């Protein structure tokens, strides 16, 4: 049981380049999330998904796109990288059922530097 995995671990992008951050979970969780963490700050929600084919915007969605074609995968797409997108990106998943107690399980993070 690998939990939540993310690739790559670290990436340097030039301004204007595009890339996809990969996220996979093997816990059969229905909900998946993408967060960004800027230095010295907490996590801010970019996008989330309540199930395959359904996504919605979080607090800071501009400059990003997501898709969810399967329960397991939730890739995050950066189309035109900007220095403001330099951050650490975390993917998370949870089972959202009838209880508020379910926690989110986080991947190890992807460190992105845009120069």
Partner 1 sequence: AQKITQTQPGMFVQEKEAVTLDCTYDTSDPSYGLFWYKQPSSGEMIFLIYQGSYDQQNATEGRYSLNFQKARKSANLVISASQLGDSAMYFCAMREGTTTQGGSEKLVFGKGTKLTVNP
| Chain contacts with partner 1 (rule: CB under 8 A) | 31, 33, 40-45, 48, 50, 58, 88, 90, 92, 94, 96-101, 103-106, 108-109, 111
Q: What is the DSSP letter of 84?
A: G
Residue 48 CB, shortest distance to partner 1, in Å, is 7
Using CA atoms in the order 102, 59, 13, 107, what is the torsion angle rounded to 10 degrees? 0
Smallest separation, CB 35 to partner 1 (Å)? 8
Q: What is the number of other CB atoms lying within 10 angstroms of the CB of residue 96? A: 14
The owner of tokens 């939990």 is 3
Which residue, 28 or 99, has its beta carbon nearer to partner 1? 99
Nearer to partner 1, 15 or 54 (CB): 54
**Nearest distance from residue 33's CB to partner 1, in Å?**
8
């Amino acid at each position: 049981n690998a939990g939540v995995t993310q690739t790559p671990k670290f990436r340097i992008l030039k301004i204007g380049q595009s890339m996809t951050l990969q996220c996979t979970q093997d816990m059969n969780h229905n909900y998946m999330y993408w967060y960004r963490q800027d230095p010295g700050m907490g996590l801010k929600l970019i996008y989330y998904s309540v199930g395959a084919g359904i996504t919605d915007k979080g607090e800071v969605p501009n400059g990003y796109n997501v898709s969810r074609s399967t329960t397991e995968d939730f890739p995050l797409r950066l189309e035109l990288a900007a220095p403001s997108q330099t951050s650490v990106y975390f993917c998370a998943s949870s089972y959202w059922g009838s209880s508020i107690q379910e926690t989110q399980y986080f991947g190890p993070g992807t460190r992105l530097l845009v120069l």
